[in-house]
Amino acid sequence: MTKVLTVNHSVEQGIREFLKFLLDTGKIKGVFTLKKLNKKGDVAYSLITRSDELTDAVPFFPLMPVNAGKLISRFTMNGPPSEPVAVVLKPCELRAFIELVKLEQGSLENMVFISATCGGVFPLNMVHEGTIEKNLSPYWTAIKKEEIPENIRPVCKACTEFIPYNADLVLNLVGNKNLDSQCDIVIETKKGEEITTDTDIKKKYSQKEYKKENLDTFKERREAEKKKIIEDIDTKLTGMDGLIEIFGKCIGCHGCSKACPICYCKLCEFESSDSEYGPSNYEAELKRRGAVRVPPNTLYYHLGRLSHIAISCVGCGSCEDACPVDIPVSIIFKKIGESIQNMFEYTPGKSIEEKIPLTTFKEKELTEIEE
C-alpha cells in the first residue's frame, strides 16, 4: 500500500518546508525548483543548496520557462552528482528527462524526483504581458474543482498525461480541495521511501496509508479538449499546401529545436554544412522552378525535426513558447507524435526500461505498411 507524508501547511508552504528539512538534515545536497529571481517576481529554475534560499521557491508555479528535463540533462550528462539532489518538476518535464536518459543524455543516479498532478501552465508571452499574477487565483480555483484553467497553453489543455510517471514523491494538486491547508506527499518509489524513512521525518510529519484519487472527470475534460484541438489542426494540415500555409511565416530561428528537450543534437542537421545550398543547388532549383525561397528548406526543417523527435515528443509545448511568430508547432508535433507513438504502443517517458521503438526490431510490427 502506498504511503503518504502529511505536512500541516498549504501545499506550497509544505513542500518548501519539506525540502528545507531535507537540505538541513543533509539528505539532499541541492534542490532544483522554480524560484522567484527578483523583486519583480520573475520566475526561473534554480539550483538551491542553502535552505533559506527556499523562501523564494515557487515549486508549482504554473509556468515552464524552460523544460526542466533539458536542464537536468545538462546537469547530469557530464557525471551525476556525488550526493542526492532533488528536482521538483512537471510530469512532461520528467517524461522528457526519462527519454533523454534513454538517449544517453543524462543520468538518474542520485536524482530524486518530486512531481505533481499537473493542471497545465501559462504561455510564456503572459510573462512579458504581465498578465500571470491576475490569472493565478482563478487557476488554482479551477484546479481544485478538476476544471481546465482558462488561459493555459492549448497543448496543456489537450494533455491527458497529467499524472507523473517515475516520480519518487508525488503531490496531488488536481482536484485537491485542501491545497491551502494540507500538503500530502505521496511516496511512490523505493528511492522516495529511502529518503523519507528516517526517524527525524517520522517524528516531524505524520505518515499514513494512501488511497489513490480518481481523476476521471479531469481526464474526460482533457480528452474532450484534446479532440477539439486536434480536429481543429486537422482541418489546417491538408497536405503540402496546408503545411506551407502554416509554416510559411517561419523565420528560421530554430528556437523550437533549441527549446525542445528531445532535440539534443549538438549540431542540428539543418544547421550543418550538409544542409547548406551551394551555388549549384540554387541554380538547379532556379532552372527547375524559376524561383527559390532563401534561405531554403523552411518546411523541410520542420518535417525533418518531426521525423527525428516525434516518437519521443512529450507534448510539453516548449517549442511553441519559443516561437516568435505564433506557429502552432506544439499542437502539430503532439498530433503527429501521438499517432506515431500509438503505432508502436509507446508512451515516451513512461518507463525507463521500455526501449525507444526505433532502437528495436520486432518481426511482427508495422505490417500495415507492408501491405
Partner 1 sequence: MNNPRKTPDASSTDHGVLIQVKNTQKETVNDFLKTAMEKGVFDAVLISMRVPAGDSFAYVLLTNKELLKDAFPLPPVMPVQGAKAISSITRRGKGNKKIAAILRPCEIRATVELAKLGQVNLENIILISMDCFGVMPTPIFIKDPEKSFKKFEDAIREDDDTVMRPVCQICDKSSMVAGDLHMGTRGVQKDSFFIVPHTKKGKDILDKLGLQANKNIDTWRAKINKNAKEKQKKRKQVHTDLQSSIEKLDKFLDIFSHCINCHNCMRVCPICSCRVCYFDSDKMKHPSDDYLRIAESKGSIRFLPDTSIFHMGRMVHMSLSCVSCGACEDACPMSIPVAQLFSMTADETQGLFGYIAGESLDEPLPLTTYRKEELSEVDDVHD
One of 231, 269, 283, 365 touching partner 1 (CB under 8 A) = 283
**Cα–Cα distances in Å, from 47 out to 11, 51, 100, 127, 178?**
20, 11, 20, 21, 29
Q: For residues 7 and 77, give the distance between their C-alpha atoms in angstroms, rounded to a whole number.
A: 34
Distance from C-alpha of 242 to C-alpha of 232, rounded to nearest angstrom? 13
CB atoms within 10 A of CB 8: 12
Q: Does 284 bind partner 1 (CB under 8 A)?
A: no
Q: Are the C-beta atoms of residues 86 and 112 closer than 8 Å to each other? A: yes
49 near partner 1 (CB under 8 A): yes
Judged by CB under 8 A, the residue of 4, 5, 7, 85 near partner 1 is: 85
* Interface characters, 190-229, with partner 1 (x: CB under 8 A): ----------------------------------------
Nearest to 294 by CA among 304, 302, 303, 283: 283
What minimum distance in Å lies between the beta carbon of 206 and partner 1?
Answer: 30
Site residues (CB under 8 A) for partner 1, limited to 322-361: 322-326
Give the nearer residue to partner 1 in terms of CB position, either 138 or 282.
282
Residues 145-184 vs partner 1: string with x where CB under 8 A?
A: ----------------------------------------
Q: Give the one residue of 14, 192, 255, 328 binding partner 1; rule: CB under 8 A.
A: 255
Classified as helix, coil or strand, 201 is: helix
Does 38 help bind partner 1 (rule: CB under 8 A)? yes
Q: Is residue 278 a contact point for partner 1 (CB under 8 A)?
A: yes
Calculate Rg over the CA atoms of the chain: 22
169 beta partners: 114, 187
**Residue 3's Cα: distance from chain center in Å?**
26
Q: Which segments of 83-215 does DSSP mark as H helices, in order? A: 91-102, 125-129, 132-144, 154-157, 190-196, 199-204
Q: Which of residues 5-34 bind partner 1 (CB under 8 A)?
A: 29-30, 32
Which residue, 49 or 351, is less far from partner 1 as judged by CB?
A: 49
Among 48, 152, 158, 167, binds partner 1 (CB under 8 A): 48
